[in-house]
Structure 1
Amino acid sequence: MNRKKNILLLSTFILLGSSIYGNDNLSQVDLNISVKKSFIENIINKELPTTMTDSGSGSQLFGGGSKNDLLSLGLNLLGNVDKKYTEKFRWNYSITRDPIAFSAKGQNIQGVANFNGTLKAQWDRETQGVDANLKGTAGISSNIVINKNWEIIAESTPIFTISQGTLPLKLNIYGMELKTDINVNKNIEQKIVSNLYKATDILDNKIREFDLRSLVEKQWLQLKHPILINQDYNLWLTVNPLDASYSNIVSDENNIGIKLGTNSQLHIYMGEKPKDLVLNSLPPMNYGEVKDTFNINLPVTATYSALNKELQKNINNKTFSLPLNSKLTLKDIEIFNENNNLKIDTNIALDILGFLNPNAKVISTVNLKYNETNSSFDKSDFDYTLVTDSTLLKFADKFLHGYIKSKISEKVFSMKTDSYITLLKHMAQEKVNSINLEDKAILKTSISSLTLKNILVKKNYITVITNIQGKSNLEIISK
């Protein structure tokens, strides 16, 4: 049997970007919806250059905290009499900002850059003026929520602070020494904040344009139909999402996102297609605790009739080589339940040395006991009964029964599952690395571990329970 077909456990389910917490009946499906930090950086960079300069002349920087109200009146009168006098008061500043740094707390995300610079103000007629160092911060603060109608809403505002916003200045005018202030804060703030408002409008509109409801609802309503995830084995996945919630903003080295989750019932079945589920439109979105990693406990159930059909397709009439130029053919095999033990009836045909052709029926009884710690069936009980008309086989079984039983137990029912599970993990990872969703978002999933938890033998079916851990992220494509 091709081992690649054994990826019947989850490859398609993870395509849903899911993360599952809880028992077999109720699970929490979580993922991150994120955008590249560079997307926000580019918006801010466009409106807030790395270096900003400005200059001017006149007395417009005076006041706004003047220590001499008469000075403002005097300068205004002086300007009316001798306009060139006040125009010769010249000023300029140059500011350089650092790269933007992001931080997230609760439902708020901030992208802020520190800046440093210098201010020079000089009165040409007299050697009097001021030089000062400037420093501060500028950026954007955004509160991001998902309303009950699944709309992502961002409300962004500028961030601006500056030190040395008001600088003292001594002036000597016609022999009179007067004190005033230079209010550089207002001029710089008007220039920077007006640009930041442009950036906040662009950012909020870009986020609003991403139609989360349409993207999710289309997939949500499809979940009422069982999903055929493996045609070779007739494997059907059922996912029954019950509610939806989101929680705090998350931030890593490259991405900014918000966590989304839903309580769901899920199962994989082998055999006939299960009945459709009753699913209505999306439930209201609520704010609540959501994890950003997944821990999947997924049951996979197969009826004995479904298993036997697959065995008929893949095992029946298979021939295996034996030593001494002999062969063994598995004519047919059937699995069923007897007193909560697996019963395996196998009809075989032998070709011994090219001229002996005995037939036999092997009736096996297995009490499966999976040891999760050792990843093996090392506590399973196994025995078999040989039914045959062949004197040769009866004679061989009489003397070799214990040896054959121990070898089968050792090779089959006590085997380590690690290598198969590792192969399954790698195959599943290849399926879910990166999936494009309608050119609107990219679903990326990383599987950190995949383990076999247990095997349950019931009257009419067998259930295999697996555990998968990892992380899923839905990255919005920024255009």
Structure 2
Amino acid sequence: MKIFTLPRIIKFLILMIFVPIIIIIFSSRAAVKEINIKPKIPELASLNTLKPERSESILNLPAKIPLVNIQKALNLNIPPTFVGTEADPTDLLSNDKLTYEINRKDFSIGTQNNRITFSVPISGTARIKGKVNLGFTKIPVSARTNIAGEIFGDLSLGIDNEWNIQPNLNVSTNLTKADVPIKNVGTINIRSLLKKQVDKAINKEKPKLIAELVENLNLKAEVTKQWNNLHLSEKVNQDPSIWIKTEPQSVSFKEFDLSDGENVQSGIAIKMFVDTCICKEAPVINLKPLPNLTFQEQIIDKFLINLPVQVSLDELNNTLQSKVSGKSLSIDENLKFIVNEINLSALGEKVLVQVDFKTDKGNLLEGAKGILYLWGKIFYDQESNNLKVVELDYDVDTKNALLSTADSLLKPVLLKQIEERLSFPLDKELNRAKDEANEYIQKIKLPSEIDANIEVKTIEVEKVVVTNNDIYLVLLADGNMSALLNLEDRE
């Protein structure tokens, strides 16, 4: 009979207790190593269009009508020479007759008190024939004299809400020299007589002159053409297919201003709806006829337009790799979640976050590895100017895989730490977006007669959307849109 000593018994008991534990530990470790989480890749149908974004803009058309145009109209329509014959013009002579010829030079134009002023020197000759009644006899006389003076006046312009130009024209004559010397009688002043005749001749021409001015200042015809041409639909980007549509809505008018001394100035503000969309076909344009005018003191050139600018997912993912690749996240004091790689993709209206990971429990235990699929929403944080993915949650297949194999990875603290790292500064993106916005706008083919200047000054992110499997910043581009509508002289 073999007798066990006490030390041997103790060793035996130790082996009986710890060897199974060691075996269990190593078998558990081997089991954990085998956890490989590979859920099915989520699928979601993509959307084809981005809902049209509407903004309201104002096209400022400062209208300049050079005063030289009005000067030409005056020179063309007021006769260069006034001639006439008057019988019995004065009581100082009997059987008298006055003949005259008055020539004018070219009109000169000026402004005063917001009125157009004009003047022109005149000169000529007059001859009077008749008989001086001396009571006992009548003596025939014939005398000639030189005439000097000026034609002068002013013109003010108005317009009614139906686009009718309303000129108010005043013309008068001032003669500084028109006295006929009559021998043995004295001097006969014929200035008032000649003034009356010249004013009469000019007033006879006024309707023609006013008609010429109205035609020369025909804003309605010009604005109607530009109004119709401003119903635009332009494709400004090929891939994705981005369209910009403009539809004018109303017209405001600033009263005529002559303060620069060289032009009749005004401002025409055309308020427009500007729609942008990511769509395959050109948006339908609703043609609206030119409406009646409204009036305002100031015309602004505020230009606002919502523009979708595509965010580069490649750039976001490159940024992610530099931030998180190889970094570990703490789920609890014993479990580390190590990120191998994170990639974002857009599906439908959501963002899919794919996380390639492994876990590390330290000591003898390593944990699991595999892929997690998380859904999130895109969000723009205005305060930090960062683009973020928020409201993360597990895809259904991912959650089911974790429930059966590694439920410790379902702790909210892990989602929170991943979400904190899905934040992207937009400074570079916005600079690029501003350049793209300017490029889009330059492709809007405004009427060729309008020398338009459209420039984006600042941009703000209105919202961020996910559509057509891409992420877009919908920007509010703020700038100026003005153009010169120069009504040239019509021959």
Question: 1:381, 1:429 → 2: CA distance?
Answer: 25
- 1:24-50 CA distances to partner (integer Å, 9 max, x unpaired)? 76555543456565554443333347x
Q: CA deviation at 1:382?
A: 7.3
Aligned residues: 358
Cα separation, 2, equivalents of 1:333 and 1:158 = 73
Displacement of 1:142 in angstroms is: 4.7
How far apart, CA to CA, are the structure 1 residues paired with 2:160 and 2:487?
16
Do 1:158 and 1:193's aligned partners in 2 also have CA atoms closer than 8 Å?
no
Q: Which residue of 2 aligns with 1:324?
A: none
Q: 2:197 aligns with which of 181, 187, 196?
A: 187
Corresponding residue of 1:326: none
CA-CA distance at 1:443 after TM superposition: 1.3
Structure 2: which 5+ residue stretches go unaligned?
Answer: 1-52, 130-139, 319-340, 357-369, 391-419
Shift of 1:210: 6.6
1:288 equivalent to 2:302? Answer no
One-letter amino acid matched to 1:47: N
Cα distance, 1:136 vs. partner?
3.9
Equivalent position of 1:116 in the other structure: 121
Distance 2:274 2:485 in 1: 21
Please tell me whether the aligned partners of residues 446 and 471 of structure 1 are also in contact (alpha carbons under 8 angstroms).
Answer: yes
Displacement of 1:128: 8.1
Match of 1:453, SS state, is strand
Are 1:43 and 2:73 matched, yes or no?
A: yes
1:380 aligns with 2:398: no
Q: Tell me, what secondary structure is at the counterpart of 2:296?
A: coil
Residue of structure 2 in register with 1:99 after alignment? 108
Equivalent of 2:150 in 135, 139, 143: 135
Q: What is the distance in 1 between the residues matched to 2:385 and 2:159?
A: 54
Q: 1:362 to 1:134 in 2, by over 3 A?
A: farther
Q: Distance in 2 between matches of 1:245 and 1:285?
A: 9
Distance in 2 (alpha carbons) for counterparts of 1:76 and 1:428: 84
Are the structure 2 counterparts of residues 154 and 241 from structure 1 closer, same or farther at C-alpha, using a change threshold of 3 Å? Answer: closer
Tell me the TM-score normalized by structure 2: 0.52
Contact 1:119-1:134 within 8 A present in 2 as well: no
SS at match of 1:161: strand
Cα distance, 1:418 vs structure 2: 5.7
1:445 matched to 2:452? The reply is: yes
**Aligned residue runs from structure 1 range 203-214, under 5 A:** 203-205=213-215, 211=221
Give yes or no for contact 1:30–1:293 (8 Å, CA) kept in 2: yes
- Root-mean-square deviation (CA, aligned residues, Å) is 5.6
Q: Give 1:467 shift.
A: 0.4
Distance 1:423 1:126, change over 3 A: farther
Distance 1:255 1:434 in 2: 25
- Where structure 1 has 5 or more consecutive residues not aligned to the other structure, the ranges are 1-22, 64-69, 80-85, 319-329, 349-358, 372-377, 385-404, 437-441
Distance in 1 between residues matched to 2:282 and 2:445, nearest whole Å: 29
Q: 2:152 is aligned with what amino acid?
A: T
Structure 1 distance, partners of 2:486, 2:371, is 59
| Residues in 1 aligned to 2:486 and 2:351: alpha-carbon distance in whole angstroms | 49
TM-score (normalised: structure 1): 0.53
Residues 418 and 172 (structure 1), Cα distance of their counterparts in 2 relative to 1, 3 Å cut: same
Q: Counterpart in 2 of 1:267?
A: 275
Distance 1:99 1:259, change over 3 A: same
Instruction: Give the C-alpha shift of residue 200 in structure 1.
Output: 2.8
Alignment-derived partner of residue 94 in structure 2: 76
1:201 maps to a residue whose letter is: A
Q: 1:245 offset after TM fit, Å?
A: 4.3
CA distance in 2, matches of 1:292, 1:61: 59
1:248 aligns with 255
How big is each residue's C-alpha offset from its partner over 1:291-312, in whole Å with a ceiling of 9 and x where there is no partner?
544111212247xxxx58xx69
Tell whether 2:222 aligns with 1:215: no
Is residue 2:479 matched to residue 1:472? no
Deviations 1:359-386 (A, max 9, x none): 9999999864458xxxxxx7537799xx
Q: Please give the per-residue CA displacement for 1:373-422, whole angstroms capped at 9, x wherever unaligned.
A: xxxxx7537799xxxxxxxxxxxxxxxxxxxx99x97xx64449568746
CA 1:54–1:204: 2 relative to 1, 3 Å: closer
| CA apart distance, 1:61 | 9.3
Percent identical: 10
Are positions 1:161 and 2:172 aligned together? yes
Who wins on radius of gyration, i.e. which is larger?
2
CA drift at 1:289: 2.0
Structure 2 residue identity aligned to 1:184: L
